[in-house]
A and B are shown apart, each in its own frame.
Chain A
Amino acid sequence: MSRHHLLALFDNFDEAEAAIVELRAGNIRGFNPDDLILKSPIEHPEVEGVLGNKPVHIQWFTLVGAILGGLLGFFLISGAQANFFAQIKGGKPIVPLPPNFVLTYEMFILGGVFITVLGFLICAGLPAKRSPLYSAKVSEDQIGILVSGDESAVAALKAIFSKHKALEIQEEAGK
């Protein structure tokens, strides 16, 4: 059965939120409530909350990046300092910890930042191809709800959108 994509545009968050609540509670045949994407011009944690618990995993990237960065920094410096056969230390420590801490700290941050951004790209699915339906009004002042469902669900989905005063409903039949 072919999948249909619907994008409904709303004037404000309250109506979009009400539509999402009804879509998720509606038990519509041929529509999986998780196939619902909210598109908005600004971030809105309250409405995102209605979509259910969707954890963010970026912190793990940050942790791994920072630790790897710190380790890389420390071992790069210490490895270089450890060639004591070439550098005469004159009784001073081969690997002096206090000054090495500074560069380790900088590399800790550098690794953390770089890998956090990498994690952002992976977790947010960027760079992304244009989704089946997109309206530039979403980047202006309207809130979009993108759903996909079977042909049998389209009428019910449209009815919910219309009930909650959708300004416009775009439809595209996919595969």
Chain B
Amino acid sequence: MEKDIREDIAWAQINKDVLRSLETPRPLYWVILLVALAMVGVGVGCEIYQYQTGMGVANMNNPHVWGLYIATFIFWIGMSHSGTLLSAILHLMHADWRKPIYRFAEAMTTFSLMTAGLFVMVHLGRLWQFYYSLPYPNERGLWPNFQSPLLWDAMAIFTYLSSSIIFLYVGMIPDLAICRDNMHPGWRKKLYSLLALGWEGTDRQWRNFRVTYLTVACFLIPLAVSVHSIVASDFAMSQQPGWHVTSSPPYFVAGALYSGCAAIISLFIILRYVFKFEEYMTLSILKKTSRLTFAIAMVWTYLNAVEFASVWYSHDEAAKDVLIQKATGTYAPFWWMMIFCGSVVPLMLAFKRFQANIPVLFAVSLLLNLGMWLERWMIVAPTFSHGYYPWAWDHDQWPSLVQWGIVFGSFGWFALLFMVFCKVFPSVSMYEVKEMVYHRSLALKNGETAEEGVH
């Protein structure tokens, strides 16, 4: 049986390998960083142009008032769920194999939420009125509408973002102390000393750390579920055909976990190569992540089938029309592409030979994420194009290059934040990998002792 990690790795070696990643990554790191910067440049340029000229340049007009912006917003919110899945859910399930990879998944959560938040502002057009979405009293004593799912969204995302940052930071404190102890004097040492809060690994600190981490993990799971359920409510609580579906919240949550897992596979492969983490991000762990992704893909496929069936057999003519439009109208190529990428491509993950095949998995994970992005677009656009009123139908409105540019830039923004994080902070949890190695060697020792007893 393949091992998740070798049990004979010296603890000092773990420190050395992970700390080396903070200083000397492979040249590909700099290439990714430059490409990400260029993409951010495109996005920022488009946003400045849109800000100065007006939303007309985005080619967003009635009935397509949300366009790619809100579709991409949902995509990034969804992406954030992977960190919670790997960190919190698998932590509660004592899945040891998550340990070398959960840190970057948590970072992914934080940065994808930061990226998602930008789209709320971008789609407003009037950026300076962003504060309308926050709970503040205005000069007439009126407050924003607390009964609107859009306001719930603002609150839920703020809670999720701040809790995720706290979870990421708290879980990193013992590693920051390792960095503090091993860095040469300079800005890094000062930064790590400040953030490590004087951690020394005392029994008192570990005892309280253990309970805190577990407690925050317990909070994060229902929080993550509520966040995407609330995002689903933005749609499901309206009367629009195609959106007013009971199964929307679980469908959104499953989609979120799915896209998050697919992104974890992509980033796993990139980090493994760029930071020379072959010893820690092993093929065995990749295989487990692939299997998890496959399982979630099948849940997502099932929920899709449920949704189509309930729309079809409910005889709600307007909703049925939207579904027919999706499958045969302007958006048909994208809708079928979504089905192919989201439900057919993951079938490859069912085969053992592909579960740890890096080139295949990388391509599959990118296709899965393409499928999940298309899914969000196919939630937003077809309903807007084919609502209740025929005189408001518009099947031909197409997002302008400005919209595409901002969406493109958001991927660069995410990549930039993520890669900078991985260079400044340890993206593999050193103390948890040591625990994993320790538990494995202990289990091995106990097994040998038991065997000797038998003989």
Contact = CB atoms under 8 A, between A and B. Distances in A.
Interface of A: 37-45, 47-48, 51, 54, 56, 58-59, 62, 76-77, 80-81, 83, 86-87, 96, 99-100, 102-103, 105-107, 109-110, 112-114, 116-117, 119-121, 123-131, 134, 136, 138-141, 146
B159 A37 contact: no
A157 B226 CA distance: 55
A114 B178 CA distance: 25
A109 B141 contact: no
Nearest to B163: A113
B420 to A, nearest CB: 24
B207 A126 contact: no
A110 B198 contact: no
B205 A126 contact: yes
Contacts of A59: 211, 215
Interface in B183-242: 197-212, 215-216, 219-220, 222-223, 226, 230
16 contacts: A39-B201, A51-B203, A54-B207, A83-B141, A102-B230, A106-B159, A113-B162, A117-B216, A120-B209, A124-B204, A126-B197, A127-B198, A138-B201, A141-B10, A141-B12, A141-B15
Interface stretch (B55-63, B78-86, B374-382, B430-438): B430-438
Given A116-B212, A117-B166, A117-B216, A80 B200 contact: no
Contacts of B205: 124-126
Nearest to B199: A126
Contacts of A131: 200, 202
A76 B158 CA distance: 16
Contacts of B449: none
Contact of B159 (A77, A99, A110): A110
B135 A80 contact: yes
Contacts of B210: 43, 45
A42 B137 contact: no
B426 to A, nearest CB: 12
B449 to A, nearest CB: 13
Contact of B147 (A48, A96, A117, A134): A96
Nearest to B198: A128
A107 B299 CA distance: 30
Contact of B146 (A77, A110, A123, A128): A77
A107 B219 CA distance: 12
Contact of A48 (B166, B199, B207): B207
Contact of A37 (B11, B137, B203, B222): B203
Interface of B: 10-12, 15, 135, 137, 140-143, 146-147, 151-152, 155-156, 158-159, 162-163, 166-167, 170, 173-174, 177-178, 181-182, 197-212, 215-216, 219-220, 222-223, 226, 230, 431-432, 434-435, 438
Contacts of B202: 37-39, 131, 146
B162 A110 contact: yes
B212 A87 contact: no
Given A43-B435, A81-B143, A127-B197, 6 more contacts: A102-B152, A102-B156, A103-B152, A110-B159, A121-B197, A140-B181
A41 B215 contact: no
A41 to B, nearest CB: 6
A132 to B, nearest CB: 11
A42 B178 CA distance: 11
A129 to B, nearest CB: 6
A139 B203 contact: no
Given A113-B219, A136-B181, A141-B12, A56 B207 contact: yes
A141 B11 contact: yes
A37 B207 CA distance: 12
A95 to B, nearest CB: 10
A126 B431 CA distance: 19
Contacts of B178: 139-140
A130 B201 CA distance: 12
Contacts of B226: 102, 105-106, 109
A56 B177 CA distance: 22
Contacts of A39: 200-203
A62 B211 CA distance: 10
Q: Which 4 A-B pairs have the closest CB atoms?
A: A128-B198, A141-B11, A136-B181, A80-B143
A54 B135 contact: no
Nearest to B230: A102
Contacts of B219: 109, 112-113, 116
Given A109-B163, A113-B166, A117-B170, A37 B204 contact: yes
Nearest to B156: A106
B204 A43 contact: no
Contacts of B431: 41-43
Nearest to A95: B146
A106 B152 contact: yes
A20 to B, nearest CB: 10
B205 to A, nearest CB: 5
Contacts of A138: 200-201
B215 A58 contact: yes
